[in-house]
């Protein structure tokens, strides 16, 4: 049945959403890469003998890398300049039976790998930790965004643990700021919620936070007086970039036990995004602040489907290197302690060593082309 | 550079923004949209290199885009759910956000529709195509377009009525 009102509303919605919507440079980058990849695939298909030779070289290099008595020159730590890409590989504490399974990336500087979908413009997180200052116990998120609001007022959904203030009038663009508070996921005090979600903090606490917020320049809010025991752990954009120039390497003994190491540059996603869960623990990794958890800390499983064990993650660790690189190890069939031992024992390698680990389709130390994941030892 | 590449460059420049907007309206995600648009152009390039001439490139590209989004979304549904749980600002709170404004309520309701239904609505109300034109573009019978649109509108009315009652 025709519905002129709904028709008009849809036209208005699409018109408004499409206004000023322009693709970013990332689209041009992607098109260029895909285009060049296809050229390269065609050329590669005609290079049978050459490929066999490269595979043999990679296999030998990988076998040397895995060997406990490998010569130090193969994976020697190198002094890295400020503008050099960081490459890390597993060191001597690799569990027995583990082999290099796959590598990719490292040759796409500046190429972005995605970002958040942006329900809120920004999120600011405050956390109360346990007595040992290791695990989050309670979490307060202050989130805001511009929005077309209907009226100035305060709303709350106490059973869901949030209270918010809308500022603006009529159909003008205004702002919404929401304060959400809950017991950290997985904490024993938060298990009483009938639907299994986190137990909310008392509404009076959230209202007090909302009242204590003051606008800050050029945007956002500052909390004049933090609730007892809470500390600011981070703030991030709803459209935070996941990072650039992703490089990956995976090791394992089978498709049941192993780990993936991911390194990205320029990530805008702080570790504090994961500090809403009491099973997450603050740790020191390679001298840097980090977090470890018995589940996936990464945003998604970004590896090739050939590394099947990563569908059942049992531990992960994440930290930021001094150069700003976000590093994540995601493991299956391994404990947190095992993963931390591997993280602490990682070795810095130079670009030549890194690219020598790649399979035939990934060797491109000079180039702008992305490398697809190559399974070295299927 | 061959003729196929030159044709590619011209058509890419002419249609990249249009296809991107269409993709964002259909899927609601800029990153996914850029991925889908890039993939569409990458797939069509070999045809041009092989000498194919597209008489109506816009229609061809739009159809390829809808197909790409439909297929891609089936594969990515689980990944999106996982990612939404991980990042604090998207942890299942859209239902409450929808109370904030009329625009957001409509957007939230649209987001619940299958991609093929959203595509029909976007082509109808944003691109302003008739049912017959949409059927030609998507290469489906006109009756299919009509039924997809009817189901989509019925579902939207249902969702918006529910929220009005709740409010």
Contact status of A306 with chain B (Cβ, < 8 Å) = no
Looking at CA atoms only, how far is residue B99 from chain A in angstroms?
Answer: 10
Q: Which residue has the higher pLDDT, A197 or B5?
A: B5
Contact status of B49 with chain A (Cβ, < 8 Å) = no
Q: Identify the domain boundary among A215, A237, A259.
A: A237
Contact status of B82 with chain A (Cβ, < 8 Å) = yes
User: Does residue A29 form part of some domain?
Assistant: no
Same-domain pairing of A222 and A306? no
User: Does residue A167 form part of some domain?
Assistant: yes
Mean pLDDT by 10 residues, chain B (167 residues): 71 90 88 85 73 74 84 44 36 33 77 86 92 87 89 87 56
Residue B26 neighbours by CB under 8 Å, 6+ apart: B66, B69, B115, B118, B119, B122
User: Does residue A5 form part of some domain?
Assistant: no
What is the model's pLDDT at position A98?
A: 87
Same-domain pairing of A90 and A209? no
What is the model's pLDDT at position A368?
A: 27
Total CB pairs under 8 A between chain A and B: 135
What is the model's pLDDT at position B63?
A: 87
Same-domain pairing of A110 and A127? no
Q: Identify the domain boundary among A179, A211, A237.
A: A237
| A98, A258 Cβ separation under 8 angstroms | yes
Hey, are the CB atoms on A149 and B100 less than 8 Å from each other? yes
Where does residue A270 rank: exposed (0-12), middle (13-18), buried (19+ CB within 10 A)? middle
Read off the tokens for A253. Answer: 């003994």
What is the model's pLDDT at position B139?
A: 80
What is the model's pLDDT at position B74?
A: 40
Same-domain pairing of A226 and A147? yes
- What is d(CA A178, CA B97) in angstroms, rounded to the nearest whole number? 10
Q: Which residue has the higher pLDDT, A119 or A206?
A: A206
What is the model's pLDDT at position A170?
A: 57
Q: What are phi and psi of A216, to 5 degrees?
A: -125, 155
Nearest-5° angle of CA B123, CA B129, CA B135?
80
Q: Which residue of A has its CA nearest to B81?
A: A300
Same-domain pairing of A71 and A217? no
| A107, A370 Cβ separation under 8 angstroms | yes
Q: Identify which of A10, A27, A141 has the shortest CB distance to residue B16.
A: A27
Phi-psi region of A100 (alpha: psi -120 to 50; beta: other; left: phi over 0): beta
The arithmetic mean of pLDDT across residues A227-255, rounded, is 86
Q: What domain range is A333 assigned to?
A: 47-114+241-375
- What is d(CA A361, CA A307) in angstroms, rounded to the nearest whole number? 17
Hey, are the CB atoms on A27 and B37 less than 8 Å from each other? yes
User: Does residue A175 form part of some domain?
Assistant: yes
User: Does residue A18 form part of some domain?
Assistant: no
Same-domain pairing of A259 and A225? no
- Best B1, B78, B87, B154 member to test A by mutation, with max A CBs in 10 Å, is B87
Hey, are the CB atoms on B153 and A6 less than 8 Å from each other? yes
Same-domain pairing of A103 and A141? no
Summarised one tens digit per residue, pLDDT across range A26-63 is 888 888 877 766 544 444 333 332 333 233 333 333 33
The arithmetic mean of pLDDT across residues A109-116, rounded, is 79
Hey, are the CB atoms on A176 and B100 less than 8 Å from each other? yes
Which letter, b or e, does each residue of B64-76 get, where b requires 16 or more Cβ atoms within 10 Å of its Cβ? bbbbbbbebbeeb
Local structure of A142: helix, strand or coil:
strand
Predicted confidence (pLDDT) at residue A65 exceeds the cutoff of 50: no
Looking at CA atoms only, how far is residue A56 from chain B in angstroms?
Answer: 32
Task: Count Cβ atoms below 10 Å from residue A35 Cβ, excluding itself.
Answer: 17
Summarised one tens digit per residue, pLDDT across range A129-176 is 999 989 999 999 999 988 765 566 777 787 778 998 887 755 566 788
Contact status of A150 with chain B (Cβ, < 8 Å) = yes
- Nearest CA to B101 among B153, B23, B160? B160
Contact status of B164 with chain A (Cβ, < 8 Å) = no
Same-domain pairing of A154 and A88? no
Of the listed ranges A2-6, A256-260, A346-350, B23-27, the least confidently predicted one is A2-6
Contact status of B20 with chain A (Cβ, < 8 Å) = yes
ipTM above 0.90? no
Contacts with A301 from chain B: Cβ below 8 Å: 79, 82
Hey, are the CB atoms on A116 and B89 less than 8 Å from each other? yes
Which letter, b or e, does each residue of A333-354 get, where b requires 16 or more Cβ atoms within 10 Å of its Cβ? bbebebbbebbeebbbbbeebb
What is the model's pLDDT at position A279?
A: 93
- What is d(CA A102, CA B34) in angstroms, rounded to the nearest whole number? 27
A361 pLDDT band, cuts 50/70/90, is: very low
What is the model's pLDDT at position B120?
A: 92
**Overall number of domains in chain A:** 2
Same-domain pairing of A264 and A328? yes
What single string gives the DSSP state of each residue in A117-138?
Answer: --SSSEEEEEEEE-TTS-SEEE
Contacts with A296 from chain B: Cβ below 8 Å: 82, 86
- Nearest CA to A243 among A324, A156, A343? A324
User: Does residue A359 form part of some domain?
Assistant: yes
Summarised one tens digit per residue, pLDDT across range A285-342 is 988 889 999 988 875 545 454 455 666 789 999 999 988 899 999 998 999 999 999 9
User: Does residue A33 form part of some domain?
Assistant: no
What is the model's pLDDT at position A12?
A: 87
Q: Which residue of A has its CA nearest to B119?
A: A14
The arithmetic mean of pLDDT across residues A261-270, rounded, is 90
Contacts with A176 from chain B: Cβ below 8 Å: 100
Q: Identify the domain boundary among A237, A259, A278.
A: A237
What's chain A's average pLDDT?
Answer: 75
What is the model's pLDDT at position A329?
A: 94
Task: Report how far apart the first and last C-alpha atoms of chain B are (Å, whole number).
Answer: 60
Q: Is domain B1-89 classified as CATH 1.10.260?
A: no
- What is d(CA A314, CA A295) in angstroms, rounded to the nearest whole number? 5
Question: Between 1.10.10.10, 3.40.50.800, 3.90.1150.10, 3.40.50.300, what CATH number should domain B93-167 receive?
Answer: 1.10.10.10
What is the model's pLDDT at position B3?
A: 63
Hey, are the CB atoms on A10 and B87 less than 8 Å from each other? no
Read off the tokens for B31. Answer: 């990153």
- What is d(CA A237, CA B88) in angstroms, rounded to the nearest whole number? 11
Hey, are the CB atoms on A273 and B86 less than 8 Å from each other? yes
Contact status of A359 with chain B (Cβ, < 8 Å) = no
Looking at CA atoms only, how far is residue A185 from chain B in angstroms?
Answer: 12
Same-domain pairing of A110 and A246? yes
Same-domain pairing of A199 and A308? no
User: Does residue A156 form part of some domain?
Assistant: yes
Task: Count Cβ atoms below 10 Å from residue A103 Cβ, excluding itself.
Answer: 28
- Which residue do the tokens 């001439």 mark? B53
Of the listed ranges A73-77, A276-280, B14-18, the least confidently predicted one is A73-77
Same-domain pairing of A252 and A173? no
Contact status of B42 with chain A (Cβ, < 8 Å) = yes
Domain ranges of chain B: 1-89, 93-167
């Amino acid at each position: 049945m025709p519905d002129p009102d709904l028709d008009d509303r849809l036209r208005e919605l699409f018109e408004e959403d499409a206004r000023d919507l322009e693709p970013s440079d990332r689209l041009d980058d992607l098109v260029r890469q895909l285009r060049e990849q296809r050229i390269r695939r065609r050329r590669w298909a005609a290079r049978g003998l050459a490929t066999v030779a490269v595979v043999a070289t990679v296999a030998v290099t990988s076998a040397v890398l895995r060997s406990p008595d490998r010569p130090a020159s193969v994976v020697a730590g190198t002094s890295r300049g400020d503008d050099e890409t960081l490459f890390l590989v597993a060191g001597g504490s690799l569990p027995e039976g583990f082999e290099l399974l796959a590598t990719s990336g490292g040759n796409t500087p500046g190429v972005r790998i995605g970002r958040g979908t942006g329900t809120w413009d920004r999120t600011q997180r405050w956390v109360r930790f346990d007595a040992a200052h290791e695990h989050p116990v309670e979490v307060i998120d202050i989130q805001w965004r511009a929005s077309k609001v209907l009226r100035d007022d305060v709303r709350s959904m106490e059973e869901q643990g949030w209270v918010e203030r809308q500022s603006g009038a009529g159909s003008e663009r205004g702002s919404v700021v929401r304060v959400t508070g809950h017991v950290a996921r997985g904490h024993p005090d938060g298990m009483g919620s009938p639907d299994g979600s986190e137990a909310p903090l008392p509404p009076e606490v959230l209202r007090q936070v909302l009242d204590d917020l003051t606008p800050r320049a050029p945007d956002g809010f500052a909390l004049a007086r933090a609730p007892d025991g809470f500390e600011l752990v981070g703030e991030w954009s709803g459209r935070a970039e996941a990072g650039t120039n992703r490089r990956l390497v995976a090791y394992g003994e089978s498709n049941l036990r192993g780990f993936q190491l991911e390194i990205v540059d320029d990530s805008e996603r702080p570790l504090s995004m994961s500090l809403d869960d009491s099973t997450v623990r603050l740790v020191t990794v390679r001298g840097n602040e980090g977090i470890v958890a018995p589940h996936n800390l990464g945003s998604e499983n970004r590896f090739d489907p050939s590394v099947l064990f990563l569908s059942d993650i049992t531990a992960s660790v994440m930290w930021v290197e001094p150069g700003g690189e976000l590093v994540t190890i995601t493991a299956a069939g391994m404990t947190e302690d095992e993963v931390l031992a591997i993280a602490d024992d990682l070795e810095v390698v130079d670009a030549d060593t890194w690219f020598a680990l790649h399979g035939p389709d990934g060797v491109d130390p000079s180039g702008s082309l992305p490398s697809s994941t190559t399974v070295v030892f299927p | 550079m061959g003729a196929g590449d030159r044709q590619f460059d011209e058509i890419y420049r002419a249609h990249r923004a249009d296809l991107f907007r269409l993709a964002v309206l259909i899927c609601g995600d800029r990153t996914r949209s850029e991925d889908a648009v890039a993939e569409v152009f990458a797939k069509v390039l070999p045809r041009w290199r092989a000498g194919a001439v597209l008489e109506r490139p816009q229609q061809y590209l739009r159809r390829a885009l809808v197909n790409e989004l439909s297929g891609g979304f089936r594969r990515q549904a689980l990944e999106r759910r996982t990612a939404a749980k991980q990042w604090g600002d998207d942890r299942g709170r859209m239902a409450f956000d929808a109370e904030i404004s009329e625009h957001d309520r409509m957007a939230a309701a649209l987001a619940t529709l299958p991609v093929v239904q959203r595509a029909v609505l976007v082509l109808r109300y944003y691109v302003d195509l008739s049912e017959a034109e949409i059927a030609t573009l998507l290469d489906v019978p006109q009756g299919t377009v009509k039924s997809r649109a009817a189901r989509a509108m019925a579902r939207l009315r249902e969702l918006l009525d529910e929220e009005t009652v709740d409010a």
